[in-house]
Each structure stands twice: as structure tokens, then as C-alpha cells.
Amino acid sequence: MQKYILQYGSLAGWPYRIAEGLRRLGYDSLNVIQENSDVDDLDRQLPHHRALAQKTDHKIIKLIKRAAFLYEATKHCSLVHYHGSVILRSHSHHILEGKIFAKRGIPMVMSFGGGDARIVSEARIHNPYFYRQLDEERDKKIRSYLSSISRYIRYAVTDCEMISYVEPYFEKCYVFRQPVDLRLISFTAPNVERRPVVLHIPTNSMVKGTDVVIETANRLRAEGHDFEFRMKRQLTQAQMCEEIAACDIYVDELLCGSYGVTAVEAMAAGKPTMTYIRPDLVSKFPADMPLVNANPDSLYEKLKELIISPELRRRISYASRAYAEKYHDVDMVVKDLINVYRDIGFKA
């Protein structure tokens, strides 16, 4: 078997996009996930090349399958890019998994998705809206996890917010922007003649600030503002893209302090997208970022402004697509990653 770059994990489908992008550039890559299932009650049917186990498998069978894959990977991987999870038990990565890959000279790098690395006590210092209350026991576990994986995974490639939590643990951290495949997301020119459609698709209502979104939409409608509010859940990835294409304003998340993949997908479709960016992080993103920065206190005024101003929606629409093309196109992200891989020891 030819050596391949392993993309391990299923974070919002981006490991698959990276693997496919690498293949287009002539690098063999494979996206492997732990099991064919999704988080909570969702079934987004995120794309991947291989699932090690089924959700219905006994936990012992799942462990055996992961252990067998670890043995296989040590023989056939040229680099391991972890995405929010490791093959065996996370808090003991340094005991076996990391040691084996390191002994074979296989470079490793980790990307984070959010809850896998956010330390609550630190998040709340910069973000008064953060959805979790102080939890010393949880923070202790996160720190233990970061200490374990960074013993042998010496590098992290992640977004501006995650770097603030993980930087003390890794030898070097690289900035990573979530990739989208722009060939699969068409730009929908804004229809400023109709009543605007406001869309919210929460994967987790607590994380996204859904209660505030609903309350704000109800308040604006009660005041007589003419718009349609749609909230959807339990959609496949394809269904989500269809819903985004049909809306005029997308409200993403109000509590975390940075933006995620869904916000990028909405911008790529040309939708004015609302999310909360922490004040201390704004300068770390490109100056032409078109996201409408809204938190629970400012959502009402900013959403109202978008609803009553078709011209504002039109201007942000075009700027959003341009931003996605400039900073989040998967082929561009993959080229940046190849430079990171080479910097950490990858040899084609």
C-alpha cells in the first residue's frame, strides 16, 4: 500500500475536504473516523473515506478495531493530522499511540474544534457570554488531555481562538482556517425584492444561543418588521446547504466568540452571516471579514438593521462570497497545510 497522509476525525466534515484537496494535488490522503455516527441526536451524514466501527458495535469491538487500525497506520502513514480526536484513549495518547508514531518517525499535528480544547476559566475571562459556567473539574480534564497529546504531537494547526488555549502546550502553533469546497457551494445573488428570510440551524441550542435568537425574532415580528424566521435542526449536510441557499440572513452562534464552518458555508453562499467574535480576537482575523459581529446584547439592533436594509444585505452578500474565496477555499487551505506539513518533517 502506498504511504498516505492520515486525516483522522470528522470535525464538521473538514478532514474529508482536506484529504480530497490533497488528492487533487497528487498527495495520497485518507479521512478516517472512529465510527459511523454523529454527535448528540444529529445525522448530518458528513462525508468520510472510512469508518472504523459502527455505532451499534460493542465498545470492546470498537476498541479492537481502533487498535487494529493503529497498527495499520504505523505501517502506512507518512503523517498523521488529528482533528479533535485520537485513535485510542485521548488522555493516554502519550503512553502508547504517540510513542509508536514518534518511534517510527511519523510527524503528527493536531487541529481542534472547540469543546475539545476550550478551558472554561480562560474563556470566561475574555467572553462574558460564554455558555459554560466555571467547571474546575472539566478544565482539569482538558489540561490533562492537552498535556498528554502534546508529549508527542508537538504541533497544532488551529484557529485564532483555539490557539489562545493550546499554545502553552505545543512547540509551535499554526493558524488554520476552516476549508470549504466552493465548487459545491453556489453563490446565490441576494433577492432584495422579497421579505427577507432569517435562518438559524443550531447543532446544539445551548452552544449557539438559540433561545436569544428565537426571543429576538419574536420581538422584531411583534414590532411589525416584515420577515420570515426559520429554525431547522436534524438536517443532513446536503439539506443544510439547501436551506442556507434559500435564506437571506443567516444567524449562526452568539456565545463562543469565534466563527465556525457553518458560518463559512453561509458566507460562501453569499449570505450576510451573524456570529459573535470576541473583541480581543477581531484584530487577529483579516480586516475585510464581513461577518456581522453580534452578541446576545446587540443581536436585536443588528438583525433589525439587516432586515430593514436590502442594500446592506446586498453589499454584505458579495463581500461574504469574496471573503470565503480569499481565505477559506479548500485548495488554498490545503496548499498552506502542505507547507505546515513540510515544516514539521513531512517528506513526500
Give pLDDT tens digits for 100-140: 999 999 999 999 987 889 999 999 999 999 988 999 999 99
160 and 201 co-located in one domain:
no
75 and 103 co-located in one domain:
yes
CATH number at residue 283: 3.40.50.2000
* Confidence at residue 116, expressed as pLDDT on a 0 to 100 scale: 86
Residue in the structure block whose three cell numbers are 492537552: 146
148 and 37 co-located in one domain:
yes
150 and 213 co-located in one domain:
no
170 and 247 co-located in one domain:
no
Residue 187 domain-assigned? no
229 and 256 co-located in one domain:
yes
90 and 107 co-located in one domain:
yes
Residue 236 domain-assigned? yes
113 and 255 co-located in one domain:
no
* Confidence at residue 141, expressed as pLDDT on a 0 to 100 scale: 94
CB atoms within 10 A of CB 147: 14
Between CA 212 and CA 334 the distance in angstroms is: 36
Residue 39 domain-assigned? yes
215 and 150 co-located in one domain:
no
Residue 186 domain-assigned? no
What are the helix (H) ranges across 192-309?
A: 205-208, 210-222, 237-245, 261-268, 279-282, 299-308
Is 22 within 8 Å of 39 (Cβ atoms)? no
* Confidence at residue 114, expressed as pLDDT on a 0 to 100 scale: 79
Supply 98's cell numbers. 504517540
Between CA 206 and CA 100 the distance in angstroms is: 39
How many residues are recorded in the chain?
Answer: 348
pLDDT at residue 38 greater than cutoff 80: no
Residue 190 domain-assigned? no
- Return the half-sphere exposure (C-beta side, CA atoms, 13 A cut-off) of residue 272: 25
CATH number at residue 69: 3.40.50
Is 44 within 8 Å of 240 (Cβ atoms)? yes
Between CA 22 and CA 234 the distance in angstroms is: 30
Whole-model pTM: value is: 0.92
Supply 112's cell numbers. 481542534
pLDDT band at 42 (very low <50, low <70, confident <90, very high): low
249 and 334 co-located in one domain:
no
pLDDT at residue 89 greater than cutoff 90: no
141 and 267 co-located in one domain:
no
Residue 248 domain-assigned? yes
Structural domain boundaries, residue 83: 4-179+329-343
What are the residues facing 111 on neighbouring strands?
A: 83
CB atoms within 10 A of CB 214: 15
Q: Work out how many domains the chain is built from and give that number.
A: 2
pLDDT band at 11 (very low <50, low <70, confident <90, very high): confident
Give the orientation angle of helix 261-268 with respect to helix 237-245, to 10 degrees: 50
Give pLDDT tens digits for 280-311: 999 999 999 999 999 999 999 999 999 999 99
Between CA 71 and CA 346 the distance in angstroms is: 20
pLDDT band at 340 (very low <50, low <70, confident <90, very high): very high
* Confidence at residue 43, expressed as pLDDT on a 0 to 100 scale: 58
Give pLDDT tens digits for 227-245: 999 998 878 878 888 999 9
Give pLDDT tens digits for 164-196: 999 999 999 999 999 999 999 999 888 888 999
Give the pLDDT mean for 207-214: 94
What's the whole-number average pLDDT of the chain? 93
Residue 191 domain-assigned? no
172 and 312 co-located in one domain:
no
Closest CA to 100 of 153, 40, 169: 153
Closest CA to 251 of 297, 202, 203: 202
